[in-house]
Amino acid sequence: MVFGNSGNRSGAGVAFSRNPATGANEPYVDFLFDAQGEDVVSGRRTPGDAILLAKWLPDIARDLAVASRRLEQELKDVQDIEFTVEDGKLYFLQTRSAKRTPRAALRIAVDLVREGVITPAEALRSLEGIDLERAGVATLRGEATPLATAISASPGVASGRIALDSETARRMAEGGAPVILVRREPSTDDIAGFNAAAGILTMVGGRTAHAAVVARQLGKACLVGCNSLEIDENNRRIRLAGRELSEGDWLSIDGESGKISSGWAEIVIERPEAELGELKRWATGGAAP
């Protein structure tokens, strides 16, 4: 056994060899000091990121980055890695192909071909069954007023009415209103609310918690770990950076910037034409650059 809960030079984390939300070739790490793996993925605590890990355990951060890239090249796919640090020593528990958004899948396939890790034919096979119509980049445009920020667990944007539980989210959505589900922590018990909502906002939790992964798979914008959010379920209200809002009020979230705004905003979607053009060239026999 390896114990991450054995002091301030120990901990547990989840790392992706690339960003599974956007596909960017950058470190994507959630790490909790003095913790075990379930503490990270449960969503009950808000972990630190690659920057925090590098600040306090630079040797571990370096070894993790090198090993993550080697695993990706050996296995020819983006990796989702669970790891534990015990008294300053890094242990890998498991690795597997990472779940990713359609947007990330498209960018990763193109980048892996350009880097010589996979062939165009392998890239096309990796995208089979993925709805590339959902690979666009969405942005908000409107009069919404920024109030606070949170950690982006799933990209995209959403504008909808606040719902404080899954049943209310389902009922509002059935009535035709887009919904932002606001919860203390992301929980798999809220899957019905995730399905009904256009976006999710939570007080605590990390990007690699089980429920955040589900939100990415569903293509729902999701912000977690908002430390300026308070929820009053008894009175069906929230306080966001000192601003009080009631259930049913409009809220907008931006999974790119992490910004949270009051009010409604128009959603604009930009298609990734360059990457889609690359796929078309491969499919018609064109060589990769």
Per-residue pLDDT of 223-249, as tens digits, reads 999 999 999 999 999 999 999 999 999
Residue 200 in any domain: the answer is yes
Q: What is the pLDDT of residue 210?
A: 84
Q: What is the pLDDT of residue 116?
A: 97
For 109-137, the three-class secondary structure string (H helix, E strand, C coil) is: HHHHHHCCCCCHHHHHHHCCCCCHHHCCE
Q: Looking up tokens 């990457």, which residue turns up? A: 275
Cα pseudo-dihedral 226, 231, 237, 239, rounded to 10? -50
Q: Which residues contact 148 (CB under 8 A, 6 or more apart)?
A: 226, 228, 229, 240, 241, 259, 260
Q: Using 50, 70 and 90 to split pLDDT, how confident is the model at 286?
A: low
Q: What is the pLDDT of residue 33?
A: 97
Tell whether 143 and 251 lie within a shared domain: yes
Q: Which amino acid is at 262?
A: S
Tell whether 19 and 87 lie within a shared domain: yes
What DSSP character marks residue 54? Answer: H
Listed residue (248, 224, 252) closest to 238, CA to CA: 248
Tell whether 223 and 172 lie within a shared domain: yes
Number of domains observed in the structure of the chain: 3
Look up the domain containing 124 and give its range.
102-134+271-283
For 134-151, the three-class secondary structure string (H helix, E strand, C coil) is: HCCEEEEEECCEEEEECE
Tell whether 215 and 144 lie within a shared domain: yes
Residue 269 pLDDT > 90:
yes
Tell whether 143 and 264 lie within a shared domain: yes
CATH of the domain at 185: 3.50.30.10
Mean pLDDT of 256-281: 94
CATH of the domain at 48: 3.30.470.20
Q: What is the pLDDT of residue 188?
A: 77
The region, left, alpha or beta by phi > 0 then psi within -120 to 50, assigned to residue 248 is left
Tell whether 120 and 181 lie within a shared domain: no
Q: Which helix (H) or strand (E) holds 41?
A: helix 37-41
Residue 288 in any domain: the answer is no
Domain final residue pick, 46, 76, 97 = 97
Residue 30 pLDDT > 70:
yes
pLDDT tens digits for 68-112? Answer: 999 999 999 999 999 999 999 999 999 999 999 999 999 999 999
Residue 215 in any domain: the answer is yes
Residue 289 pLDDT > 90:
no
Residue 134 pLDDT > 60:
yes
Q: Using 50, 70 and 90 to split pLDDT, how confident is the model at 217?
A: confident
Listed residue (212, 101, 91, 92) closest to 152, CA to CA: 212
Residue 181 in any domain: the answer is yes
Give burial (CB, 10 Å; 0-12/13-18/19+) of 209.
buried
Q: Looking up tokens 């899954």, which residue turns up? A: 166
Residue 4 in any domain: the answer is no
Tell whether 259 and 154 lie within a shared domain: yes
The rounded percent of the chain whose pLDDT value lies above 70 is 98
Domain final residue pick, 44, 73, 97 = 97
Give the number of C-alpha atoms closer than 13 A to the C-alpha of residue 288, restricted to the C-beta side. 19
CA of residue 7 relative to chain centroid, distance: 28
pTM (two decimals)? 0.88
Tell whether 32 and 86 lie within a shared domain: yes
Q: What angle do CA 47, 203, 48 make, to 5 degrees?
A: 15
